Amino acid sequence: MNLQFVADGLLAGSMIGLGAIGVTLTYSILRFSNFAHGDFMAWGAYATLAVVGAIGAMFGKIAPIAPLSFGWPLIVALIIGMAATGLLALALDMVLFARLRAKGQAIIVVMASFGASMALRSLLEFIFTSRPTYFSRAIQIAMPIGFGIRITPDQIALLLLTAVLVLGVHLLMTRTQTGRSMQALSQNAALARIVGIDVAKVVRVTWIIGGGLACVAGVMIGMLIQIRPFMGFEMLLPMFAAAILGGIGSVPGAVLGGLIIGLAEAGAVQLIGAEWRAAISFIILMAVLFVRPIGLFGVGER
């Protein structure tokens, strides 16, 4: 068996894992599974693409940085895109989710997120049409790194970026006051309020982290595959599966879950064909629900 699937799986797993962090945080802190999270990815990718276009219009053509396919415009655009996606998530929470949460029925919020997901995705389709677009049409030469694995400079850069982001979120969650408040709120909401944790602030931070990471995942998909309005929606099942496999509320769990699903998908593509890729996450999801519903790093339901 060709070991190339390891590199492909790690890349797919990074995209899934970055998305799953947002899903798992929303689920554990706001207590609902957000079906619009995949569409944050797509909005992030399109927002970044739009900023790249605007920079191109202002400064003309900019040469890419040595071995990579992109230059500083994409890096700047990604940061702006992350902020924009975080703001989108905040806005959606303000207009829709927060009001429904106040009414008190958790599952209604899930339904609203399903409606919002449809509306967000179709709005992208309306603005940009369903035709796929790309950040760059340049073809990069993949270089061999041993064991029959080939990888492009872009892919290495994205893997490094993922590692940095995951480490950053992990440190934020465990070493800062904000992160500890987030954990407190997810473990016992009533008690967290009693000790005076600013719930509104924790909710804001949750959406901004989730939205920002979704944007990075969307841009990764855009750079390695293509940008389409449906790109995020198709990631929804792998993201949910990764979050549940890792254990709801656990950031390292979400990333590990994402990597496991990414590797399983890439391996399965070699064995049974690419058209069945999407079924892998479903099989893993069902297996987890039957065998260990709290996931790898999960704690029992409270």
Instruction: Select the span of 27-35, 67-75, 164-172, 200-208 touching another protein (CB under 8 A).
Output: 27-35
Q: Tell me the closest approach of the beta carbon of residue 54 to another protein, in angstroms.
A: 23
Rule CB under 8 A: say whether 282 interacts with another protein. yes
CA–CA dist 54, 14 (Å, integer): 28
| DSSP-assigned letter for residue 39 | H
- Distance, CA of 212 to CA of 42 (rounded, Å): 12
- Work out whether 270 is an interface residue with another protein (CB under 8 A): no
Q: Please name which of 39, 229, 210, 68 lies closest in space to residue 140, comparing C-alpha atoms.
A: 68
Options 40-48, 76-84, 229-237, 256-264: segment touching another protein (CB under 8 A) = 229-237
Q: How many residues bind another protein (CB under 8 A)?
A: 52
Q: Tell me whether residue 105 or residue 176 sits nearer to another protein (CB atom).
A: 105
Determine whether 155 is exposed, middle or buried from the number of CB atoms within 10 Å of its CB (0-12, 13-18, 19+).
Answer: buried
Is residue 46 near another protein by the rule CB under 8 A? Answer: no
Q: Which part of the chain contacts another protein (CB under 8 A), choosing from 76-84, 158-166, 178-186, 285-293?
A: 285-293
User: In whole angstroms, what is the distance from residue 206 CA to residue 212 CA?
Assistant: 10
Q: Which of 118, 96, 93, 95 is nearest to 36 (CA)?
A: 118
Q: Tell me how far, at minimum, the Cβ of 95 lies from another protein, in Å.
A: 8
Among 45, 51, 52, 116, binds another protein (CB under 8 A): 116
Radius of gyration over every alpha carbon of the chain, rounded to an integer in angstroms: 19
Q: Does 12 bind another protein (CB under 8 A)?
A: no
Number of Cβ within 10 Å of residue 286's Cβ equals 11
End-to-end Cα distance, the chain: 44
Candidates 53-61, 80-88, 235-243, 251-259; binding stretch for another protein (CB under 8 A): 235-243
Tell me the C-alpha distance between 62 and 292, whole Å. Answer: 51
Binding site for another protein (CB under 8 A): 27, 31-33, 35, 96, 99-100, 103-108, 110-112, 114-120, 122-123, 125-126, 129-130, 188-190, 233, 236-237, 240-241, 244, 275-276, 278-279, 281-282, 285-286, 289-290, 293, 301-302
